[in-house]
Amino acid sequence: MHLARYPRRFIAHLPTPLERLDRLTKELGGPEIWIKRDDCTGLSTGGNKTRKLEFLMAEAELQEADVVITQGATQSNHARQTAAFAAKLGIQCHLLLEDRTGSDNANYKNNGNVLLDHLHGATTETRPGGLDMNAEMEAVAERMRAEGRKVYTIPGGGSNATGALGYVNCAFELLGQANDRGLRIDRLVPRKDVRMVLTDGGPSDFGLAGRAAEKLAELGYGNVRVLTGGTAGWKAEGFEVFSGVNVPSKAFGEYVEHWYDTPRLPAEELHSRVEAGEDIVILDSRPMTEFNRMSIPGGVDCPGAELVYRVAEMAPDPNTTIVVNCAGRTRSIIGCQSLVNAGLPNKIYALKDGTMGWNLAGYDVARGETTHAPAPSGDTLDLAKQRAAEVAARFGVTRTNAAELARWQGEAETTTYLLDVRT
């Protein structure tokens, strides 16, 4: 599912932590129990409804609403987060609060979330329990529309198709976190008899690799070894070590740039060309979450694996200059070179040092952008297919089919990785 096609306001602090509940797991005798900390979403003391509101409030903005109405119980977390979200966007919020308890306690009626609702600038109305609150909300909305207001209504809990997109994103988030923590080691290392060497930092990590080996043994991996002394021991023996993260991919990017002499453009030169009004398209090769956090003004998100697929929609004129950027170097180099290899007639450059270099050069960056390169159609789709076929032929890329893939996956003595490169 391509979430980038839906309008979204990125406000939540995501991904929220995923934590193992060791003592509860032990108390219950398994299975492993984990908790997704959506209390850490960040908006007005947090809560899971912020996920839904990222999509709901973006839709409200798209409809040019000047007031948002929702409903919930007196101490509704959803109402409180809606009021906070609306305040951040400068949209009025009106809440219908249902008394579901019949309590006369002044603290219950006026403190807690109700106090926060008012601190966020929301106006409120109360209703007795048992009413059809969505019908009550629609009646208030009609009254406001009659007064000339542009109203956007959100059902209780943000529970509709638009709000549900927040939990589609949560599913993607959970999958990534599970992979990061080795909860899906079977996907990364599907063969249980593969030779595996584990390493940690050495004595300072207090047996981390050893504990990982024990866990892998529990999961059925029978050929696991621990590197004596860890990475520190490896270095002490005189062997080479590398610093940083994502080292293999970065090394590959440097190799590609050196081998092909990939064209690159410093931030200063890009800035001067843009200021001069040159015909330039800036394609950001990172995922939407990174693009939204910080991007080059005027840039468009187009993750690297789809650059050749989408570029003709963004730069149909061969005289248009194309600049590919990422946060630093690697993905811009690979993205730029992929377009060069595809035979585009345009001048194509990788932005030297990416958004970080742009920012360090003293230029403003954009935040909160959501523009995504459109999918090709018609002639541009045919052109994308033609370019891809020519690259595949030049580099000897072969094809398979579903039956052959299934056979490979069933072979116990080999490992087959299936990579989905779509955004």
Q: Catalytic residues, which ones?
A: 76
Q: How far is Cα 37 from Cα 40, in angstroms, rounded to an integer?
A: 6
Omega within 30 of 0 (cis) for the link into 31: yes
Looking from the CA of 233 toward its CB, the CA atoms found within 13 Å total: 12
- The answer to whether 423 touches 305, Cβ cutoff 8 Å, is yes
∠ CA(295), CA(296), CA(299), 5° rounding?
95
Q: Which residue's entry shows tokens 């003595």? A: 413
Non-local CB neighbours of 271 within 8 Å, separated by 6+ positions: 358, 361, 363
Residue 197 β-bridge partners: 225
Q: How far is Cα 74 from Cα 52, in angstroms, rounded to an integer?
A: 20
Query: Hey, what are 196's tokens?
Result: 């595996």
Q: Which residue's entry shows tokens 């080479």? A: 240
Q: Which residues of 227-255 are buried (b: 16+ CB within 10 A; e: fewer)?
A: eebbbbebeeeeeeeeeeeeeeebeebee
Q: How far is Cα 33 from Cα 52, in angstroms, rounded to an integer?
A: 25
Q: How far is Cα 38 from Cα 15, in angstroms, rounded to an integer?
A: 9
Q: How far is Cα 190 from Cα 221, in angstroms, rounded to an integer?
A: 10
Q: Please state the φ and ψ torsions of residue 401, each to the nearest 5 degrees.
A: -135, 175
Q: Tell me the residue type at 286.
A: R
Instruction: Extract long-range pairs of 229-233: CB within 8 Å, 24+ residues apart.
Output: 229/202, 229/203, 230/199, 230/200, 230/201, 230/202, 230/203, 230/205, 231/199, 231/200, 231/201, 231/202, 232/201, 232/202, 232/203, 232/204, 233/202
